[in-house]
Amino acid sequence: MKAVHFGAGNIGRGFIGELLHKSGYDVRFADINAEVIDELNEKRSYTIHYAGSDKQVEVNGVSGIHSVEEAGQLSAAIREADLVTTAVGPQVLPHIAPSIAAGLKERSRTDNPPLPVIACENMIGGSTRLKEEVVEIAGEEILGVSCFPDSAVDRIVPIQNNEAMLDVSVEPYFEWVVEKKDFKGKLPDIDGVTYVEDLEPYIERKLFTVNTGHAAVAYKGAEKGYETIREAMDDKEVVEHVRRTLEETGKVLIARYGFEKNSHERYIEKIIERFNNPDLSDFVARVGRGPIRKLGPYDRLVKPARTYIQTMHEDPVNLIETIMSALTYENSEDQEAVRLKELRTRMGTLGAFKEITGLDDRDELVEAIAKKLD
């Protein structure tokens, strides 16, 4: 079986590549990073190290395609593939859509079955978003030869600092949940994937617990001058703030999806433990990257905060505190953090929040943040 995976980065090599290889796929990574692609083509394999244990997994039979310079090869690979996956970042999906559209157009001239394209990004509806971009380019008829099931992925893979360029250190935990309903034909046999009828509870539980919690560590940590997640998690005040924030998102999730209270509390504690993993070295700058995206109306902070207000009829004080820390996050090497600072200087903190979220003064979260800024 053949898979094309867009994004030979941390999640690409350290998670999706591992599971696809284990399931018998030959994985071709498509990326714009020529150094990584050349190394993949030379070495044809890499090692995954499980943080905190001696376990190592060899991923072999892999290769790379430069997604811009080798566009013809990439189209041919998509034409013949059994599966396409992505882990490039939500903002990059529109940039890879033309390559996928071109490959699918070639495929439409063959008898090959419809190709599943699964986006593995930290966002709600990632594959659906990619589908919209592809359809915009190639037209609705392209859905005759493809399908775009949504998915949720969970594994913490920090920025890597290994001797061998392709090796990846990962946390042992992982979860990859894929929605069944959009598949055309047989579900791909991927070891470790859970197929579900309705992804919404899974993706919201993951995004509004793992990612909300991690964002709270990063932004609170940055506010207190910490550079690493370790330093932030060693500060009891930060950990307490994170726990209270997750209690708020927990109330929303329980009310919305009927999760059992005790088991959700255990899920929260398990996740706080994962942030505390002494064997993973992670930076506030990675976990807090892209603050404008993370402050988006459907992302890990604003969506649960607004739902909390609508459901509980009170302000989520800890989520609001995290939003305030995110709004004042600074990092001169992060383009979104730089833009956020410009917006704040130009429009004030509330103006920047409204600009980023598209919310206006009538919104109760905007009102709550205005009160906080008074």
Ligand X SMILES: O=P(O)(O)OC[C@H]1O[C@](O)(CO)[C@@H](O)[C@@H]1O
Q: How far is the CB of 317 from ligand NAI (least distance, A)?
A: 27
**Number of residues near ligand NAI (by CB under 6 A):** 25
7 is an annotated ligand-binding site residue? yes
Interface residue with ligand NAI, options 5, 7, 62, 204 (CB under 6 A): 7
Find which of ligand NAI, ligand X, none residue 6 binds, CB within 5 to 8 Å per kind.
ligand NAI
**Residue sitting closest to ligand NAI (CB):** 9
Residue placing its CB nearer to ligand NAI in the complex, 226 or 283: 283
Please state, in angstroms and rounded to a whole number, the distance separating the CA atoms of residues 104 and 116. Answer: 11
Mark out the alpha helices in 63-208 (DSSP H runs).
71-80, 93-107, 126-138, 200-206
Does position 7 interact with ligand X (CB under 6 A)? The reply is no
Q: Which of residues 270-309 bind ligand X (CB under 6 A)?
A: 287, 289-290
Q: How far is the CB of 211 from ligand NAI (least distance, A)?
A: 8
Find which of ligand NAI, ligand X, none residue 334 binds, CB within 5 to 8 Å per kind.
none
- C-alpha distances in Å from residue 347, one per residue of 212, 213, 291, 335, 344: 26, 28, 17, 18, 5
Mark out the alpha helices in the chain (DSSP H runs).
10-11, 17-22, 34-43, 71-80, 93-107, 126-138, 200-206, 212-223, 229-233, 236-257, 261-275, 284-287, 291-294, 302-312, 317-327, 335-357, 364-373
Does position 8 interact with ligand NAI (CB under 6 A)? The reply is yes
Q: Which of residues 191-210 bind ligand X (CB under 6 A)?
A: 210
Retrieve residue 98's tokens: 């033309």
Please state, in angstroms and rounded to a whole number, the distance separating the CA atoms of residues 161 and 247. Answer: 34
Q: From residue 33 to residue 52, what is the string marking binding to ligand NAI with x (rule CB under 6 A)? A: x-------------------
Residue placing its CB nearer to ligand X in the complex, 154 or 321: 154
Does position 203 interact with ligand NAI (CB under 6 A)? The reply is no
Residue placing its CB nearer to ligand NAI in the complex, 147 or 156: 156
Which backbone phi and psi does 302 adopt, to 5 degrees?
A: -75, -40
Do residues 216 and 291 touch, judged by C-beta distance below 8 A? no
Does position 156 interact with ligand X (CB under 6 A)? The reply is yes
Which backbone phi and psi does 79 adopt, to 5 degrees?
A: -55, -40
The DSSP code sequence of 301-340 is: THHHHHHHHHHHSS--HHHHHHHHHHHT---TT-HHHHHH
6 is an annotated ligand-binding site residue? yes
Where along the sequence are the contacts to ligand NAI (CB under 6 A)? 6-12, 30-33, 67, 87-90, 92, 95-96, 121-122, 153, 155-157
As annotated, the binding site for NAD(+) includes 3-14
Where along the sequence are the contacts to ligand X (CB under 6 A)? 122, 154, 156, 210-211, 214, 287, 289-290
